[in-house]
Amino acid sequence: MIMRVLRALVPLLCLLPLGRAQAEPEEEDGVLVLRAASFEQALAAHRYLLVEFYAPWCGHCKALAPEYAKAAAKLKEEGSEIRLAKVDATEESELAQQFGVRGYPTIKFFKNGDKAAPKEYTAGREADDIVSWLKKRTGPAATTLTDAAAAETLVDSGEVVVIGFFKDLASDAAKEFLLAAESIDDIPFGISSSADVFSKYELSKDGVVLFKKFDEGRNNFEGDLTKENLLNFIKSNQLPLVIEFTEQTAPKIFGGEIKTHILLFLPKSVSDYQEKLDNFKTAAGSFKGKILFIFIDSDHSDNQRILEFFGLKKEECPAVRLITLEEEMTKYKPESDDLTADKIKEFCNKFLEGKIKPHLMSQDLPEDWDSQPVKVLVGKNFEDVAFDENKNVFVEFYAPWCGHCKQLAPIWDKLGETYKDHENIVIAKMDSTANEVEAVKIHSFPTLKFFPAGSGRNVIDYNGERTLEGFKKFLESGGQDGAAADDDLEDLETDEETDLEEGDDDDDQKIQKDEL
Angle at 72 between CA 70 and CA 74, to 5 degrees: 70
Q: At what angle do helices 341-352 and 273-284 cross, to 10 degrees?
A: 40
What's the rounded Cα separation, in Å, for the pair 303 and 310?
11
Q: Minimal CA–CA distance to 237: which of 163, 294, 162?
A: 162
Q: Residue 321's closest CA among 378, 366, 354, 361?
A: 361
Half-sphere exposure of 421 (CA within 13 A, CB side): 0
CA atoms of 512 and 516, how far apart (whole Å): 8
CB-based burial of residue 150 (10 Å sphere; 0-12 exposed, 13-18 middle, 19+ buried)?
middle
CA-CA distance, 306 to 312, in Å (whole number)? 9
14 is catalytic: no
Catalytic residue, chosen from 14, 317, 348, 405, is: 405
- The DSSP element (H or E) to which 269 belongs, if any, is none
Let me know if 405 is a catalytic residue: yes
- Report the distance separating Cα 478 and Cα 409, nearest Å: 23
Active site residue 402: yes
The DSSP 8-state label assigned to residue 454 in this structure reads S
Angle at 503 between CA 498 and CA 507, to 5 degrees: 130
Number of C-beta neighbours around residue 270 at 10 A: 14
DSSP state of 408: H
- Out of 14, 317, 348, 402, pick the active-site residue: 402
For the question of residue 348 being annotated catalytic, the response is no
Read off the amino acid at residue 498.
T
Q: Report the distance separating Cα 433 and Cα 442, nearest Å.
A: 10
Do β-strands 160-165 and 207-212 pair in parallel, antiparallel, or remain unpaired? antiparallel
Q: Which residues are catalytic?
A: 58, 61, 402, 405
